Amino acid sequence: MQGISTKKNFIWYYIQQFVTLSMSIITAPYLARVLGSRNLGIFSFTFSNANFLYVIAQLGTLSYGVRQIALNRDDKYERSKTFWEIELLTVITSISAIIIFLIFISFQKEYQFFYYLWILFILAVTFDISWFYSGIEHFDETLIRTVIFKILGIIAIFIFVKNPDDLYKYIIIYSLMYLAPNLSMWTSIFKYVDFVQFNNLDVLKHFKETFIYFIPAITSSIYVILDKSMLGFLIEDKRENGYYDAANRIVKFGEAISSIVITRVFEPKTNHFYKAGQMDKIKQSINLSLNFTMFASIGFVFGIFAIADDFVPAFFGPDFLKASLLLKIMSIIIVITSITFVLEYEYLIPSGKRNKINRFVIIGAISNLILNYILIRKFASIGAVIGSIVAESIVMIGFFISADNIISPIKILDAVKNKILAGLAMFIAISFIKLILSMMGFENLIIGLILQVILGSLVYIFVLYLLKDQMIDFKKNLDAI
């Protein structure tokens, strides 16, 4: 069975990423002004608790399912058998997660109505068979539907969410943007699988493997879930959750920019190189992707430090002023996670070191839990961000130690030194532009921000060119792999 071309898969994937990121960017300013910081804080807090059960419901089936379907893609019976086994396992884990969530809701004195609405979100996991289409390399089957429902969701938000009392409508729309495309995927499934007799299925044999895939799958989300949940439980003022959520939306955008090339381009290459024993190619790929991620993440961090004080009130409104400080501090995570992603997806996973990944993710989560309990009480949302930075740093160091010297500290220094100098030059340039605009009495904040971003980016790239940074030859080096 053949999938569609790699080129088309990439096109569909980037369309989905564009729409997903655009949804957050387009709706964030509107929702911040319509719902306000307190209601967005309630959304963030209740969502984080629901999302924890959502992740448990998924277990590790997304990554594991892709692998198992890919292995059996040419045998329709085995493909069908594997599909129904993994899907039934997902039904079991989803129902279990919903039951646990209902027990949790019964003990909650606040926001019970909102929690009940989030069951729609958790239920979406039951019908999520995107892993099957990824396994047979028919990304178009999932991405077209996802893009359509994301766009419909954006339209629905602008039509139905009009004031702070419409928070429940936003939760329903948000949940349906996950549930609806998942349900629609079932309309095409029987072109690729047949029914298999129940007594021929062995569902439980997949449980151990999906659990092994579970912890690596939550590496990038566990700290945010912990932060939002603990903020809500430890701090009465739900605006703190709103500030955290606003800053986190922008940081997630930065992480997507810096890590997208790893997860979709370099990971398959390094898997191939590892199986072929081509360690030189693996090192070349890691060095190249590290250079790209440092280029994107360091540039993003210095840019955020330069424009955050103007960007946050312009983007989210004056009710979110505290989020500008949070955004500056939180942006540091982008650099840390970029290194973590390189090591995890390009070496530790291909080389079968999932146990080491699990160990350090658990250590990081425990550290985050302890630090959050101490720091959130004293510093609220700022304490949560500091706890995450420390936890993410622990995981990064652990991954680095586990990577068998695949990349040296000198290589990391080579990848970052020019970017830091260029970032400083960009920061100074943007500060100078802001000073000139202020002296001229220029009051259009949006146009001013656009000028700062464009001119700052040009300075960043120009300085890297003068320093003859490795990123200048990125395309040539990419073609060589």
Write out pLDDT tens, residues 399-441: 999 988 777 788 788 889 999 999 999 999 999 999 999 888 8
Q: Are residues 40 and 120 in the same domain?
A: yes
Q: Is the pLDDT of residue 40 over 80?
A: yes
- In terms of average pLDDT, the best of 244-248, 301-305, 443-447 is 301-305
Q: Are residues 142 and 223 in the same domain?
A: no
Backbone conformation region of residue 404, classed left if phi is above 0, alpha if psi is from -120 to 50, else beta: left
Q: Are residues 241 and 132 in the same domain?
A: no
Q: Is the pLDDT of residue 309 over 80?
A: yes
Output the pLDDT for position 6. 47
pLDDT higher at 60 or 380: 380
Q: Considering 217, 248, 266, which residue would you say is the last residue of a domain?
A: 217
Q: How is the chain split among helix, strand and coil, in percent rounded to 5?
A: 85, 0, 15
Q: Are residues 264 and 145 in the same domain?
A: no
Rounded Cα–Cα distance for residues 124 and 177 (Å): 9
Output the pLDDT for position 345. 79
Residue 53: give the domain boundaries: 1-217
Output the pLDDT for position 219. 63
Output the pLDDT for position 479. 57
Q: Are residues 207 and 262 in the same domain?
A: no
| HSE-up of residue 193 (Cα within 13 Å, Cβ side) | 25
Q: Are residues 62 and 180 in the same domain?
A: yes
Tokens standing for residue 188: 């095409």
Q: Write the pLDDT tens digit of every residue in 82-107.
A: 999 999 999 999 999 999 999 999 99
**Mutual orientation of helices 267-275 and 279-316 as an angle, nearest 10°?**
160
**pLDDT-derived band at 18, boundaries 50, 70, 90:** low
Q: Considering 168, 186, 217, which residue would you say is the last residue of a domain?
A: 217
Share of the chain above pLDDT 70, in %: 89
Q: Is the pLDDT of residue 1 over 90?
A: no
**pLDDT-derived band at 327, boundaries 50, 70, 90:** very high
Q: Are residues 144 and 42 in the same domain?
A: yes
Q: Write the pLDDT tens digit of every residue in 351-395.
A: 878 788 888 988 998 999 999 999 999 999 999 999 999 999 999
Q: What domain count does the chain have?
A: 2
**pLDDT-derived band at 266, boundaries 50, 70, 90:** low
- In terms of average pLDDT, the best of 8-12, 99-103, 441-445 is 99-103
Q: Taking residues 41-51, what's their average pLDDT?
A: 94
Q: Taking residues 209-219, what's their average pLDDT?
A: 73
Q: Write the pLDDT tens digit of every residue in 140-180.
A: 667 778 888 988 999 999 999 999 999 999 999 999 999 99
pLDDT higher at 114 or 406: 114
Q: Are residues 237 and 306 in the same domain?
A: yes
Distance of CA 463 to the CA centre of its chain: 30
Q: Is the pLDDT of residue 3 over 80?
A: no
Q: Are residues 340 and 481 in the same domain?
A: yes
Backbone conformation region of residue 202, classed left if phi is above 0, alpha if psi is from -120 to 50, else beta: beta
Q: Is the pLDDT of residue 478 over 90?
A: no
Long-range contacts of 463-471 (CB under 8 A, 24+ apart): 463/418, 463/421, 463/422, 463/425, 463/426, 464/295, 464/418, 464/419, 464/422, 467/418, 467/421, 467/422, 469/295, 469/418, 469/419, 469/422, 470/291, 470/414, 470/415, 471/291, 471/292, 471/295, 471/419
Output the pLDDT for position 33. 92
Q: Are residues 197 and 210 in the same domain?
A: yes
Q: Taking residues 262-269, what's their average pLDDT?
A: 60
Q: Taking residues 110-130, what's their average pLDDT?
A: 95
Q: Is the pLDDT of residue 222 over 80?
A: no
> What is the chain's mean pLDDT, rounded?
87
Q: Considering 184, 217, 250, which residue would you say is the last residue of a domain?
A: 217
Torsion angle, CA of 470/472/475/479, rounded to 10 degrees? Answer: -40
H-run or E-run covering 12: helix 6-58
| Secondary structure of 72-136 as H, E, C letters | CCCCHHHHHHHHHHHHHHHHHHHHHHHHHHHHHHHCCCCCHHHHHHCHHHHHHHHHCCHHHHHHC
Tokens standing for residue 86: 């993994």
**pLDDT-derived band at 280, boundaries 50, 70, 90:** confident
Output the pLDDT for position 272. 62
Output the pLDDT for position 357. 87
Answer for the pair 159, 173: CB distance below 8 angstroms, yes or no.
no
Output the pLDDT for position 15. 66
Output the pLDDT for position 324. 95
Tokens standing for residue 294: 């440092």
Q: Are residues 258 and 316 in the same domain?
A: yes
Q: Are residues 368 and 477 in the same domain?
A: yes
Q: Taking residues 26-55, what's their average pLDDT?
A: 92
